[in-house]
């Protein structure tokens, strides 16, 4: 069984050169490596090295796998029927393996148009292969002990009671997604830095103090989570 937090998979998905999510996930990773070393640390930049979108052959292989019940990842290759399916599975298996090997998955997820980036969604679509995270013997989730830390940056404010609370399709989506994979609610942490456009957009400049407080709170929280 994976020991919670014993290995770290670090994913960034921002396309910005001055990304706040990258700054915060880097802080988490630095603190974590000081405590655990770098041998069990894995980094993937989903923007610089994007995961290919799933192809029709991926869907065909997925449907065939579902018809066989719960098939562990190391048995899926035997179900491929052509070179296209073999290629899709060769692109998928390493990503699935990374997650299964991780005690903690750290994700930098800026809000783009009220949701996640296309690069993060491409990763989500590919790793969510039928049965990949379910124990075929017990039917329980293989991720029930995995910690997931999602660090977000949002240009505005989307918390409870704010005018744009209903525009947040990012945090609810990620909670639902990882919950559906079987990540325990107590192991899923979302850290938000809000009002980040206050430093860029003149009409939002009056919110710079709020943005500073939000960023400071987010940095303190990622530091505490990494050190826990």
CA distance 6 to 24: 20
CA distances from residue 204 to 17, 90, 210, 216 in whole angstroms, order as listed: 21, 46, 11, 18
194 located within any domain? yes
Q: Per residue in 105-163, pLDDT tens?
A: 999 999 999 999 999 999 999 999 999 999 999 999 999 999 999 999 999 999 899 99
Alpha helices in 2-82 (DSSP H): 20-36, 56-67, 73-76
Query: Looking at residues 150-177, what average pLDDT do you find?
Result: 95
77 located within any domain? yes
Question: Could you tell me the CATH number of the domain that includes residue 178?
Answer: 3.40.50.360
Structural domain including 190 reads 8-227
Q: Per residue in 196-221, pLDDT tens?
A: 999 999 999 999 999 999 999 999 99
- pLDDT, residue 176, reads 98
Instruction: Please report, rounded to a whole number, the percentage of residues in the chain having pLDDT higher than 70.
Output: 98
2 located within any domain? no
Q: Per residue in 35-56, pLDDT tens?
A: 999 999 999 999 999 999 999 9
Enumerate residues 6+ apart whose C-beta is below 8 A from 74.
Answer: none
- pLDDT, residue 17, reads 80
- pLDDT, residue 5, reads 53
Nearest residue to 100 via CA among 59, 72, 65: 72
Confidence of residue 3 (pLDDT cuts 50, 70, 90): very low
Query: Looking at residues 179-199, what average pLDDT do you find?
Result: 96
* pLDDT over 80 (residue 4): no
102 located within any domain? yes
Confidence of residue 2 (pLDDT cuts 50, 70, 90): very low
61 located within any domain? yes
3 located within any domain? no
> Do the beta carbons of residue 179 and residue 185 sit within 8 Å?
yes
1 located within any domain? no
Q: Residue 114 corresponds to which tokens in the numbers above? A: 């009220």
136 located within any domain? yes
CA distances from residue 79 to 82, 89, 131 in whole angstroms, order as listed: 10, 10, 14
| Total domains present in the chain | 1
């Amino acid at each position: 069984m994976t020991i919670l937090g014993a290995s770290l998979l670090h994913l960034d998905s921002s396309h910005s050169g001055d990304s706040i999510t990258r700054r915060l996930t880097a802080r988490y990773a630095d603190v974590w490596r000081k405590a655990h070393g770098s041998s069990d640390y894995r980094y993937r930049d989903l923007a610089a090295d994007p995961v290919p979108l799933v192809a029709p052959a991926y869907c065909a292989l997925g449907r065939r796998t579902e018809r066989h019940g719960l098939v562990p990842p190391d048995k899926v290759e035997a179900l491929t029927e052509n070179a296209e399916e073999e290629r899709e599975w060769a692109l998928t298996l390493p990503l699935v393996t990374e997650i299964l090997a991780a005690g903690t998955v750290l994700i930098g997820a800026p809000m783009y148009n009220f949701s996640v980036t296309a690069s993060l969604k491409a990763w989500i679509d590919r790793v969510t292969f039928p049965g990949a995270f379910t124990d075929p013997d017990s039917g329980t989730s293989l991720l029930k002990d995995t910690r997931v830390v999602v660090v977000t940056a949002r240009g505005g404010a989307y918390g409870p009671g704010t005018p744009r609370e209903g525009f947040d399709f990012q945090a609810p989506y990620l909670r639902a997604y990882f919950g559906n994979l079987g990540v325990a609610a107590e192991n899923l942490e979302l850290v938000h830095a809000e009002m980040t456009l206050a430093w860029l957009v003149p009409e939002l400049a009056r919110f710079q103090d709020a943005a500073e407080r939000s960023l400071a709170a987010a940095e303190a929280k990622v530091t505490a989570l990494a050190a826990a």
